[in-house]
Amino acid sequence: MGLMAQLALRKDVVVDKWFARVVDTYPAETARFLRSQKDPFANPVGRTTHQQLGTLVALLDADWNPDTARSALDPIMRIRAVQDFSAARATGFVFDLKQVIRGLMKSPDDARWIGDLKQLDRLIDEMALISFDLFMGCREKVYELKANEMKDRTYKAFAKAGLIKEVDDE
């Protein structure tokens, strides 16, 4: 059985271990909440992350599709982009998957896995690149929203000065 197929069999374990690592990027007091609260509405960060990691792990075995990976990573990155993370810390969790998978293998150094692992690493690297893009996209969005608020404020300043009519008339 190939590595990918074996992974598929133990998908839940991989996801849980990966999830545990992502959660550990948060303060310990928060991590427990993110892990244990199973209601997706009471705990959107934890549940969204868990769900999307599941999609990503499943993708490794199925036909790799960067678009699906992107849409799975998007909700996670959207959250991490507004939390207290640097770009590296926000996206670094993707690389953890390499360790998680190797940690689950009895003999990751065995020659017969070299090819599969190489392939896996390539996919994970691609995920990481996508998540960098998404992170940047989200940050840009945040700044766009900020800029819009400022624009809005300027508009209000005009209004205050009674200039709206003139501005509008032009």
Partner 1 sequence: MNQFYLSSLLAVFVLALIAWLGALGLPWLFGIVLPYLAVLIFIVGVVRRIVGWSRSPVPFAIPTTAGQQKTMPWIQQAKIDNPSTTIGVVARMALEILTFRSLFRNTRMKMNGEEGRISYHLEVFLWLFALAFHYAFLTTLVRHLRFFLEPVPWCIQMLGTLDGFMKIEILYNPIQVGLPGVYLSGIVLLAAVIFLFLRRLFVANVRYISLASDYFPLFLIMGIAFTGILMRYFIKADVAAIKELTMGLVTFSPSVPAGISPLFYIHLFFVCVLLAYFPYSKLMHMGGIFLSPTRNMRTNTREARHVNPWNYPVKVHTYEAYEDEFREKMVEAGLPVEKMPAPAEAAATEEEEKE
Partner 2 sequence: MADETPKPQELLDRIAYQPPAKHWMDVPVNIRKGMYCYASNPKSVEYLSMPNARPWNPLEDDWQLPENWQQILHEGFKERLEKFRSIKVFMDICVRCGACADKCHFFIGTGDPKNMPVLRAELLRSVYRNDFTALGKVLGRLNGARPMTLDVLKEWWYYLFQCTECRRCSLFCPYGIDTAEITIFGRELLNLLGLNIDWVATPVANCYRTGNHLGIQPHAFKDMLDFFVDDIEEITGLRCEQTFNEKGADILFITPSGDVFADPGTYTCMGYMMLFHYLKEKYGLKVTWSTYASEGGNFGFFTSHETMKRLNAKMYLEARRLGVKWILGGECGHMWRVINQYMDTMNGPADFLETPVNPITGTVYQNAASTKMVHISEFTADLIRHGKLELDPSRNDNKIITFHDSCNPARGMGMFEEPRYVIKSVANHFYEMPANTIREQTFCCGSGAGLNAGENMELRMAGGLPRANAVKYVHETFGVNMLACVCAIDRAALPASMEYWVPEVDVTGVTELVANALILPGEQERTMDLRSEPLPGMEEADE
Return residues touching partner 1 (CB under 8 A).
28-33, 36-42, 47, 50-51
Instruction: For partner 2, give the closer residue by CB, 39 or 63.
Output: 39
Residue 154, both tokens: 């300027």
Site for partner 2 in 118-147 (CB under 8 A): 138, 141-143, 145-146
Number of residues that bind partner 2 (CB under 8 A): 51
- Distance in angstroms between the alpha carbons of the first and the last residue of the chain: 72
When binding is defined by CB under 8 A, the residue of 40, 62, 114, 125 that contacts partner 2 is 40
From partner 2, partner 1, none, which one binds at residue 165 (CB under 5 to 8 Å depending on kind)?
Answer: partner 2
**45 belongs to the binding site for partner 2 (CB under 8 A):** yes
DSSP conformational letter for 156: H
Question: CA–CA separation, 34 vs 26, rounded Å?
Answer: 9
| Cα–Cα distances in angstroms (integers) from residue 148 to residues 74, 88, 144, 170, in the given order | 23, 27, 6, 22
When binding is defined by CB under 8 A, the residue of 25, 51, 55, 71 that contacts partner 2 is 25
DSSP conformational letter for 114: H
- Show the DSSP H helices in 24-113 as ranges: 28-36, 44-61, 66-80, 87-91, 93-104
Distance in Å, CB of 46 to partner 1, minimum: 11
When binding is defined by CB under 8 A, the residue of 39, 67, 109, 170 that contacts partner 2 is 39
When binding is defined by CB under 8 A, the residue of 79, 87, 117, 123 that contacts partner 2 is 79
**Contact (Cβ atoms closer than 8 angstroms) between residue 95 and residue 128:** yes
**27 belongs to the binding site for partner 2 (CB under 8 A):** yes
CA 45 to chain centre: 11
Segment interacting with partner 2 (CB under 8 A) among 53-61, 63-71, 118-126, 159-167: 159-167
